[in-house]
Amino acid sequence: MLRTGLVFRVSPGIRLLPACVILLLVSQFESLLAGGPAKAPDSRSKKADVVIYGATSAGVAAAVQVSRMGHTVLLIEPSAHVGGLTSGGLGFTDSGDKRVIGGIAREFYQRVRRHYDNAAAWEQEAREDYARYRPSEDAMWTFEPRVAEQILRTMLREASVELILNERLNRTTGVSKDQERITEIRMESGITFTASQFIDATYEGDLMAAAGVRYTVGREANSIYGETFNGNQVLANTHNHRFLKNVDPWRVPGDRSSGLLPGAEDAAAGTDGTGDHRVQAYCFRMCMSNSPQNRRPFPKPEGYDELDYELLLRNFEAGDLRFPMKPDMMPNRKTDTNNNCAVSTDFIGANYRYPEANYAEREAIVREHERYQKGLMWTLANHPRVPESIRQEMSQWGLPSDEFVDNENWPHQLYIREARRMVSDYVVTEYDCRRERRAPDSVGLGSYNMDSHNVRRFLTEDGFIQNEGDVQVSPGGAYLISYQSIVPARGSVKNLGVPVCLSSSHIAYGSIRMEPVFMILGQSSATAAVLAIQGKTSLQEVTYASLREQLLKDGQVLDLPPQSAPKIMVSKTQLKGVVLDDADAVLQGNWTSSSSSPRYVGIGYLHDSDSEKGMKSATWILTAPQSGQFVLNLSYSPGSNRSEKVSVVVRTGDRESALIINQKEPPTIDGLFTTLLKCDLQKGEMIRVVISNQESTGHVIVDALQLLPVSENE
């Protein structure tokens, strides 16, 4: 996005001060806002013990930690704001297990709570009317963007951190090195910064890349790290963020010669698990208001083109009437608005060039995202082809007049969900997230879903449009993040910490990439930098024992909390007999994939969303491998929201059995399977099993089916 500065409007008849005086006053005023001393206009070089590039939430936490440990620090930010997404609209914190958020990160959320303890903070609603204000909790996890930036600036000011805004790294020749150590970095303006230790806290990893550290962009193939959820993800395409109706992708419906609509890619589904260059979609985490006195209408952007929203309009006309966004309520009747459904705020496919693009190209990409998303909001609010129910819902919303006041009430930070990722001696993968591997040198914990947004739209075999790349898989609890993943590999740069674009696979990064985790890793990076200075050593040689001791002293959480046992994800190959997973079933209706429950077969299970009763079914067909007596077992994950009446019909030969299963009750065999029936079968005889949500009383679960000789049944 283009960098912004202060703007003064002067009434007619007022004498202006000399330009040089005005510039001096502006410099001093910007410095006061930043919480540090003004930059000397003639200063071309600055020095500190630690230089941090990027005043994201991670950069702020790192700077505060360096100062609290008694060392000098410079925090450099390419834009005019601090906090990144934390102050840029992402106020509905993706926190996961809040027990693992400690140190400066938790301090920030505790300060949020203290802010909203003050009755004066509630300008648009009564405090008691906001459900997420909970006096019994020590911290608060939802907040307004301007409040977040105010708190982060206060923390910097209290720590006497010198903050330097609107300075961008010269990414071509701006990093000077002496063998394996960075000695100096240079901005586009020419100013240089010298330090013993550096930290790259940007979302893009620009300093890391310019320093020659190895990194990657895009999705690895599953085969690279032996993963399951990486790379192309078509077979797992059972989430909500997809087309549920058949939508024609051609500009003239049915006419391939007319060309594809914007947003559609001329490609087929492809092979699952294969890697590519694609990056999960970006959007603005838009802050909306439904307070009549604090909202303005969504503007129609310059360059608006109705064709950009044709897929959206056709999807409505095909019968998908879901509200295509997710507005989570913040204090004072504001939202953190996220992507939802088939066509929404994610600008799918428009960001592939962003990680490696130069500044001008990036600004153009950001402007395109802004034009697309503003046009989307205007379309939903005004276009006659949008269903009346959607337009009615939109009529209550607008942009908040008191947020992002220097950017026409639009967020100043695009959500860079993923850009570059370092490749170091330890690459965090889904096995870390699932706790099948546990790092011996934890510097923080993650716990959120392995969460990738869609990366593309492809053409199905039937010639319709479909989304691909969305993965939502719960790790089932907290997991450890290795110190080696936030420092470059041995033999690479010795004095650069990388807490944001850390060493991680695409799918593991989908869990790590949460603002509380970035703050945690920012503090840990800063602590390691100071210990390296004190020990006159490289980051790679900092002893973990000393690092752990200091981190624990400063309130970081480094160990798994109680009851964080690994999830039981049982592979078909681990089970006896003939086993069919949910992926082997023929589905009728729209089922949703999940992995939130602690036990299941394969990578997850399906549920019917407790909707469209009688319209959804899953059918398995299998054959007896030999003659004999068998048991037929059904796997499902129990829960309080499950149906007590799940219809299961089993047909073998000319025999049919209609069964009712209570999925609230735990399965009786190993907590995984329950027996449907025993039957005598001849070799090659076909068995047909149908689960449906006919007359169900809650969520219906489809996980796996097992055919097992009676002699092997336990």
pLDDT single digits (tens) 622-658: 999 999 999 999 999 888 789 999 999 999 888 899 9
Residue pair 165/74 in contact (Cβ under 8 Å)? The answer is: no
Is residue 89 within 8 A of residue 507, CB to CB? The reply is no
pLDDT band at residue 32 using 50, 70 and 90 as cut-offs:
very low
Q: Is the pLDDT of residue 39 over 80?
A: no
State the pLDDT at residue 29. 45
Q: Two tokens at 209?
A: 């890349």
Cα–Cα distance, 563 to 478 (Å, whole number): 10
Q: Which helix (H) or strand (E) segment is 374 a member of? A: helix 359-382
**Token duo for residue 80:** 């005019």
Instruction: Check whether 28 has a pLDDT greater than 70.
Output: no
> What's the burial of 592, exposed, middle or buried (CB within 10 Å: 0-12/13-18/19+)?
middle
The alpha-helical segments, DSSP class H, found in 135-275 are: 145-158, 206-210, 222-225
Distance CA 185, CA 176 (A): 6
pLDDT band of 592, cuts 50, 70, 90: confident
The three-state secondary structure class of 361 is helix
For residue 391, pLDDT beyond 60: yes
Side-chain half-sphere CA neighbours of 341 within 13 A: 18
Q: In whole angstroms, what is the distance from residue 342 CA to residue 454 CA?
A: 10
Nearest to 148 by CA among 94, 89, 80: 89
- What angle do the packed helices 19-34 and 145-158 form, to 10 degrees? 90
Predicted confidence (pLDDT) at residue 9 exceeds the cutoff of 70: no
Whether the CA torsion 223, 225, 228, 231 is positive or negative: it is negative
| Cβ atoms 262, 362 nearer than 8 A | no
Choose the weakest-confidence range: 232-241, 446-455, 652-661: 232-241
Give the β-pairing of 326-330 and 479-482.
unpaired
Instruction: Grade residue 474 by pLDDT with cuts at 50, 70 and 90.
Output: confident
Q: pLDDT tens digits, residue range 137-155?
A: 999 999 999 999 999 999 9
Please enumerate in sequence order all residues whose Cβ is within 8 A of that of 646, keeping only pairs 6 or more positions apart, or say none. 636, 660, 661, 662, 663, 691, 693, 696, 700, 701
Helix 310-317 and helix 359-382, axial crossing angle in degrees, nearest 10: 30
pLDDT of residue 43: 63
pLDDT at 567: 56
Q: How far apart are the first and last CA of the chain?
A: 62
Q: Residue 670 has what pLDDT?
A: 82
Helix axis angle for 515-535 and 544-553, nearest 10°, is 120
Residue 429 has pLDDT above 80, yes or no: yes
Taking residues 22-29, report their average pLDDT: 41
Q: How far apart are CA 407 and CA 410, in angstroms?
A: 6
Instruction: Decide if pLDDT at 276 tops 80.
Output: yes
pLDDT tens digits, one per residue of 173-185? 999 999 999 999 9
Q: Which CATH number fits domain 568-712: 3.40.50.11540, 3.40.50.620, 3.40.50.2300, 2.60.120.260?
A: 2.60.120.260
What does the pLDDT look like over 89-109, one tens digit per residue? Answer: 999 998 889 999 999 999 999
pLDDT tens for each residue of 484-511: 999 999 999 999 999 999 999 999 999 9
Q: What is the mean pLDDT of residues 566-578?
A: 76
User: What single string gives the DSSP state of each residue in 21-54?
Assistant: HHHHHHHHHHHHHHTSPPPPTT--EEEEEEEEE-
Q: Is the dihedral of CA 550, 553, 557, 558 positive or negative?
A: positive
- The kind and range of the H/E element at 104 are helix 103-117
pLDDT at 568: 65
Joined together, the tokens standing for residue 468 give 């691909």
**For residue 188, what is the DSSP state?**
T
CA dihedral for 82, 98, 435, 571, sign (positive or negative)? negative
- So what's the pLDDT on residue 42? 40
Task: Using the predicted structure, report yes or no on whether residue 2 has a pLDDT greater than 70.
Answer: no
- List, in sequence order, every beta strand (DSSP E) within 566-672: 568-570, 578-581, 586-588, 592-594, 599-601, 605-607, 617-623, 628-635, 646-652, 655-661
Model pLDDT, residue 603: 74
CA distance 57 to 35: 15
Average pLDDT over residues 249-271: 96
The confidence score (pLDDT) of residue 510 equals 97
pLDDT score recorded for residue 16: 41
Sign of the CA dihedral 421, 474, 569, 650? Answer: negative
pLDDT at 389: 93
Q: What's the pLDDT tens digit per position in 341-365? A: 999 999 999 999 999 999 999 999 9
233 Cβ neighbours under 8 A, 6+ residues apart: 272, 452, 468, 469, 470, 471
Tens digits of per-residue pLDDT, 660-677?
999 999 898 888 899 999
Give the whole-angstrom CA distance, residue 704 versus residue 58: 42
Q: In the prediction, which pLDDT does 572 show?
A: 77
Asked which of 58-62, 231-235, 490-494, 565-569 is least confident by mean pLDDT, the reply is 565-569
Determine contact, residues 273/471, Cβ cutoff 8 Å: no
* Residue among 365, 306, 376 nearest 337 (CA): 376
- Which residues pair with residue 178 across a beta bridge? 181
The pLDDT mean for the chain works out to 91
User: Tokens 């006195």 correspond to what residue?
Assistant: 293
Q: Kindly state the average pLDDT of the residues 546-554.
A: 98
**DSSP string of 496-530, one letter each residue:** EE-SSS-SB-HHHHHHH-SHHHHHHHHHHHHHHHH
The per-residue pLDDT for 714 is 53
Q: How far is CA 175 from the centre of its chain?
A: 30
Q: With bands split at pLDDT 50, 70 and 90, how would you rate the model's confidence at 388? A: very high
Least confident of 204-218, 387-401, 579-593, 699-713: 579-593
In eight-state DSSP terms, residue 452 is: E
Give the angle 614-580-576 at the CA atoms, nearest 5°.
Answer: 140
Q: Which two tokens stand for residue 662?
A: 């209570």
- Summarised one tens digit per residue, pLDDT across range 600-630 is 888 788 998 888 889 899 999 999 999 999 9
More confident position, 308 or 597: 308
**Confidence band (pLDDT; 50, 70, 90) for 3?**
very low
* Separation CA 317–CA 549 (nearest Å): 60
Phi-psi region of 695 (alpha: psi -120 to 50; beta: other; left: phi over 0): left
Tokens (6 digits) for 8: 């003064």
- Token pair for 230: 């990486």
Residue with tokens 């997710």: 326
Q: How many helices (H) and strands (E) does the chain have?
A: 13, 35
Q: Give the pLDDT of residue 563.
A: 62
Q: What is the mean pLDDT of residues 519-531?
A: 98
Position 38 scores a pLDDT of 41
Q: Give me 186's structure tokens.
A: 């240079």
Q: Which residue is it, tokens 């060309």? A: 259
Q: Would you call 126 helix, strand, or coil by DSSP?
A: coil
pLDDT at 713: 63
The residue ranking higher by pLDDT, 62 or 473, is 62
- CB count in 10 Å sphere of residue 482: 25
Greatest alpha-carbon pair distance for the chain in Å reads 101
Sign of CA dihedral 374, 376, 380, 382: positive
User: In the chain, pLDDT over 70 holds for what percent of residues?
Assistant: 92
CA distance 156 to 64: 6
Helix (H) or strand (E) run with residue 677 in it: strand 673-681
Quote the DSSP letter at residue 306. Answer: G
Kindly calculate the radius of gyration of the chain based on its CA atoms and give it in whole angstroms.
27
